Amino acid sequence: MVLTKSLHSNLSLVHKRGIHDVVKRSTAGEIFVKQGPGGRSSVSGHVSTVFGCTGFLGRYLVNNLGKKGTQVVIPYRGNDDDKRHLKLMGDLGQIVPLRFDIRNETQIAECVRHSDVVYNLVGRDFTTKNFSFEAVHVDGARRLARIAREEGATKFIHVSALNADVNSTSAFLRSKALGEIAVREEFPEATIVRPGYMYGKEDKFWNRFGWWTKWVPGPTPIPNGGKTLLRPVYVGDVAKALAAMESDSQVAGKIVELYGPYEYRYGNLFKFFCDMAMHPHETFPVPKAVYKLFGRALDTVMVFPHITADEVERLYINDQATPGALTFKDLSIEPLSVEDTISRFVRLYRSNQFQHAPFETILKKYQTTEWRV
């Protein structure tokens, strides 16, 4: 008994807490207290729900939250295989899977009931027979924001897209802009996050280039003659920024745009990828109408289309930053460039004879800024 009291007394001296270690849900009045030195076996004081956790960006975000001790609720709608890899991203009991449907308000409420931070990463870049862009990006986002507010969440972080515009020629970007409006109507202090084209191991950016170089013989058709200006961003940097927003009060009610440090022509990026893959490919321009027809054909015959007509439309739109929006700099994050990361993703598309060829000799050609805009 004496030993227990003494131990408790010593621990109380060690674990002194400041006001920054306490999280309170203002609506529900619940208190969360940070415990431990930090890391997966600690408790950050936050409980976060990540809708869209099984997607490309979602798995990186769950890992970033889990490794700092946040308890993460991971709503999923597929089978158990879709979310099983996420269970390893936090300590025992810290990753909580719940099945949900974005049209079922009771299930959504259960997913956010105990969370002080709610992330909405739900989105698709092509429509299906069950979900249109509006059903997911507008109606679904509005429903998530409203229920999060009703259940007492203190933060709602909504992931939109760079270049979102209600007047855009792209249906995807129009729906993303309307979704931002819907979220703000339901949750006025929501944070709107607009990432640029994201790349990573499971992306549709470098892997699309790889698909062309590996499976399409001869010259590759390229939209807009490769002139479109892009600022691609590494998905790990976007996830790091989203995780930092969990405890950053400056982002409330703000727009945060996350894009890479440099601007490139689309055609230059394709040439860079081909050089790194040691698989030279010529390109030729294709009229937009012809390329969109090709996209519609793929969308008709493939379950997961390689490219859709709306994606072709987006590849004619230059990336543009919004004046006054927060960026990586405001979150004290230095984003990686495509030159820093390309070697992680391109090796898959090299032939056997070039698997161990060094990347440095090729990168030297791209050390100057001449190939950037």
pLDDT at 127: 86
pLDDT at 58: 96
pLDDT at 75: 97
175 and 45 together in one domain: yes
Max avg pLDDT among 55-69, 78-92, 287-301, 356-370: 55-69
| Other CB atoms within 10 A of residue 285 CB | 14
70 and 157 together in one domain: yes
Q: What is the mean pLDDT of residues 266-293?
A: 92
Range of the domain at 136: 18-195
**What is the rounded CA–CA span in Å between residue 59 and residue 53?**
6
Residue 253 forms part of a structural domain: no
pLDDT at 28: 53
189 and 266 together in one domain: no
208 and 134 together in one domain: no
Length of the chain: 373
160 and 298 together in one domain: no
pLDDT in tens, 214-231: 887 888 889 999 999 999
177 and 211 together in one domain: no
185 and 287 together in one domain: no
1-15, 318-332, 336-350: least confidently modelled range: 1-15
Residue 238 forms part of a structural domain: no
Residue that finishes a domain, picked among 144, 167, 195: 195
pLDDT at 12: 41
Residue 256 forms part of a structural domain: no
81 and 160 together in one domain: yes
221 and 175 together in one domain: no
The fraction of the chain above a pLDDT of 90, given in percent, is 68
pLDDT at 30: 63
**Is 133 within 8 Å of 145 (Cβ atoms)?**
no
176 and 221 together in one domain: no
Q: What is the mean pLDDT of residues 225-252?
A: 96
| Other CB atoms within 10 A of residue 174 CB | 20
Q: At what angle do helices 105-112 and 141-150 cross, to 10 degrees?
A: 50
Q: 318: left (phi > 0), else alpha (psi -120 to 50), else beta?
A: beta
Q: What is the mean pLDDT of residues 271-292?
A: 91
Q: What is the mean pLDDT of residues 330-350?
A: 94
69 and 181 together in one domain: yes
Whether the per-residue pLDDT at 19 is higher than 60: the answer is no
Residue that finishes a domain, picked among 170, 195, 220: 195
Residue 177: which CATH number?
A: 3.40.50.720
pLDDT at 113: 94
Q: What is the mean pLDDT of residues 59-81?
A: 94
Give the burial class of 330: count Cβ atoms within 10 A of its Cβ; 0-12 exposed, 13-18 middle, 19 or more buried. Answer: middle
Share the mean pLDDT of the chain: 89
